[in-house]
Structure 1
């Protein structure tokens, strides 16, 4: 058991002890009617205060851990300007590994100029649901471009990547259906499955054989089945054997959703994602999901697929039907970024070089990078939350910004630093960073 886990349990025990002491004090109160009435009123009051909710107690416990361990929180640091391969925090420049602008488009002046022009033409907001009064030409231009990119009939854009998975899964599946997802699937997939009312099961990470065995046992018990996987897993930096997963979904008559939030613009020779990486025809995947906040320099999400799917989502998905339309400036920025991705495949090649460099040098230094394939996401597993926080803060002092991942986001023994690589990182920045982490590992 790691030190971080031990301290977490000790603090949890102390918190429970304090709660028990308060409960004991209440029980020992004089048993007279006035005291009982006061106690009842106090109990009701506690139930209507956020401070009494277990979620707040969890946040409070996290703060207590930081104070007890004397570790400054590495979260919510304020960036002064555009965050890319480098960033300004508190007036100081840092090499930045905490950002998703994989191809450097979020700070690109051409893309920014197109977004500014969209503001001049359409204003800062669509100001209505698209079905009511929020439709703008740029929305359909973006959707048509994404559909062409994925070689599908159509595409539907949503205002949030997280909400895309939640609302689409919930709109299409429900009681009597089954949703099976990778054990490391993103929270948005899990939340969508839970809220849909369908039966939810998971299978071992990237294990298509385990999925096949699971469906062999239970497929006949359900009407529709959705298999949900990711193109590139943002916590570990590895990717699935898409061909095998397509074979499983076809064998069992299921739908397949591939979340390309982190693989669009990253995997494949020209950045066309997991299908290009694995040589799989696009029509073999039923729902191509992606986000505009990573490679595409905007904000929001999308689903690309066949026409019946797009028609259903436009008219029935709550996250589209009842939500304001994507801000026109963000739609224009993502459209411009998509066009730049297609026109500049050299950015994808440079990103691949930098990611592979980080992975190779980290392995050579004896760092634990888990199962990362070296495409944009490389974790360095520290083995404890305490060590992850200490290393992140030590690197920050050296001018390197990287975020730690703590329990309960991952198991305590899997606590880590998570490095997001961009095409705009320089080779020297990669080497300097790996060297700094290696020194910390050697001294711990």
Structure 2
């Protein structure tokens, strides 16, 4: 074998050297994770606290981060994260003074940057200022809040809705407040971190079932339901890492038979599923009251920031008066609420944007599969992964595509299992078939 210049490892090819470094990196990551166990304190002298417990740089998570960053640097791989976008990020964006085709934005229907949506935010600033400067319960309530929540409730065909300043916090505080130690929360194994954090806060029993496996859920509840007071089932409308969705009618049947609550997180399905973008319930032709708790975010299709819960009056009134994440948080900034309300109205006025988005997603999926790219279980609606295997390979491909004018982010361990690292493509209605063809062609040229 030829020597790799400057490698410090004579006799090794560049490919073999990289493989060895990758294996070493993975081993160090596992070792760093194993050191998270608490050190024994029995017999320790009073006041003799181990130094590792007094330093931020000794936290296991930070040590893993340093190993990953240092390993990538040794391989000449630049970090793909925290890129500075210099304007509105839609199907294209500007980074470092250069224009890129952008596949790393949730701006599915092009509402962020839409003139009507932008003007609504400006008008709200002129009328209400940039902040309501208080919790909504005490003195932060504004008409724009109620207008947005009424529009969301109407969208779902339910009694009412409540908006939170954070989508993540909406899940954490809703689950954390409504459920407790005598309850069970059952979730899809690929559920979002915010749901897991909410369950931890609740102190409820947590069980997962195989991804999109309704039979496994049914069997689990048959075995476990009788041991708990309240039971909550949590799934997503579209899974943001995989781009697939659950069989909602089957889940509704299961939750009714087992007398459980059903919660659907529509962060990525609102605006992209259904003929008019009303989400997974429209896709399956179901009524809003078939699901007990509708959750979603304002930061994707609705061009704002924050989250919402929609459902029956008792649910929403309960959360408005007692859920800590709402009660003790400042009200949503008026321009954000106004932008999301305008985007919601625009979505319903312009169903052709939803139709175009769905057509572009289908086209991307078909072209990617034809090119031999592993797209997993994606339905090709708005999220399509290119599953590559190792985190190193995903990061390399992201960097090479960036050099060719495409911005697409890698999803790495621990966000996904190490051998499931991927590039994640978000498709918008503003992407064209030509741009899709070009990025697929670029991926076909990538080193295998």
TM-score range, shorter chain: over 0.9
Provide structure 2 residue ranges, at least 5 long, that are not aligned to the other structure.
1-17
Cα distance, 1:266 vs structure 2: 0.3
3-state SS in 1 of match to 2:445: helix
Supply the distance in 1 between the matched residues of 2:219 and 2:198 (Cα, whole angstroms).
Answer: 24
Map 1:344-355 → 2, pairs under 5 A = 344-355=350-361
Alignment partner of 2:295 out of 289, 314, 317? 289
Quick check: 1:181 aligned with 2:187?
Answer: yes
Quick check: 1:234 aligned with 2:235?
Answer: no
**Maintained 8 Å contact 1:11/1:65:** no
Quick check: 1:402 aligned with 2:408?
Answer: yes
Cα distance, 1:46 vs structure 2: 4.2
1:375 is matched with 381
1:109 is matched with 115
Cα distance, 1:62 vs structure 2: 1.9
1:29 is matched with none
**Maintained 8 Å contact 2:157/2:287:** no
Quick check: 1:420 aligned with 2:417?
Answer: no
Supply the distance in 2 between the matched residues of 1:52 and 1:391 (Cα, whole angstroms).
Answer: 31
Quick check: 1:338 aligned with 2:334?
Answer: no
Q: TM-score, normalised by structure 2?
A: 0.91
2:174 is matched with 168
Quick check: 1:9 aligned with 2:15?
Answer: no
- Number of aligned residue pairs: 424
Quick check: 1:67 aligned with 2:73?
Answer: yes
1:136–1:433 CA distance, 2 compared to 1 (3 A): same
Supply the distance in 2 between the matched residues of 1:230 and 1:365 (Cα, whole angstroms).
Answer: 29
1:319 is matched with 325
**Maintained 8 Å contact 1:232/1:238:** yes
2:138 is matched with 132
1:369–1:91 CA distance, 2 compared to 1 (3 A): same
**Maintained 8 Å contact 1:404/1:418:** yes
Alignment partner of 1:224 out of 194, 216, 230? 230
2:442 is matched with 436
Supply the distance in 2 between the matched residues of 1:126 and 1:55 (Cα, whole angstroms).
Answer: 36
Q: TM-score, normalised by structure 1?
A: 0.92
Cα distance, 1:407 vs structure 2: 1.2
3-state SS in 2 of match to 1:431: helix
**Maintained 8 Å contact 1:84/1:424:** yes
Q: What are the superposed Cα offsets for residues 323-375 of structure 1, whole Å, 9 maximum, x if unpaired?
A: 00011110000000000001000000000011001000001111100000001
Quick check: 1:99 aligned with 2:105?
Answer: yes
Cα distance, 1:18 vs structure 2: 12
Alignment partner of 1:48 out of 51, 54, 60? 54
Q: What are the superposed Cα offsets for residues 22-53 of structure 1, whole Å, 9 maximum, x if unpaired?
A: x9xxxxxxxxxxxx99xx86x55542221122
1:257 is matched with 263
2:124 is matched with 118
Supply the distance in 2 between the matched residues of 1:341 and 1:16 (Cα, whole angstroms).
Answer: 45
Cα distance, 1:10 vs structure 2: 3.7
Cα distance, 1:63 vs structure 2: 1.4
Supply the distance in 1 between the matched residues of 2:433 and 2:206 (Cα, whole angstroms).
Answer: 44
Supply the distance in 1 between the matched residues of 2:146 and 2:330 (Cα, whole angstroms).
Answer: 15
Supply the distance in 2 between the matched residues of 1:13 and 1:248 (Cα, whole angstroms).
Answer: 39
Cα distance, 1:14 vs structure 2: 8.2
1:18–1:251 CA distance, 2 compared to 1 (3 A): closer
Considering only aligned residues, what root-mean-square deviation do their CA atoms show, in Å?
Answer: 2.1
1:275–1:67 CA distance, 2 compared to 1 (3 A): same
**Maintained 8 Å contact 1:259/1:289:** yes
**Maintained 8 Å contact 1:93/1:399:** yes
3-state SS in 2 of match to 1:105: coil
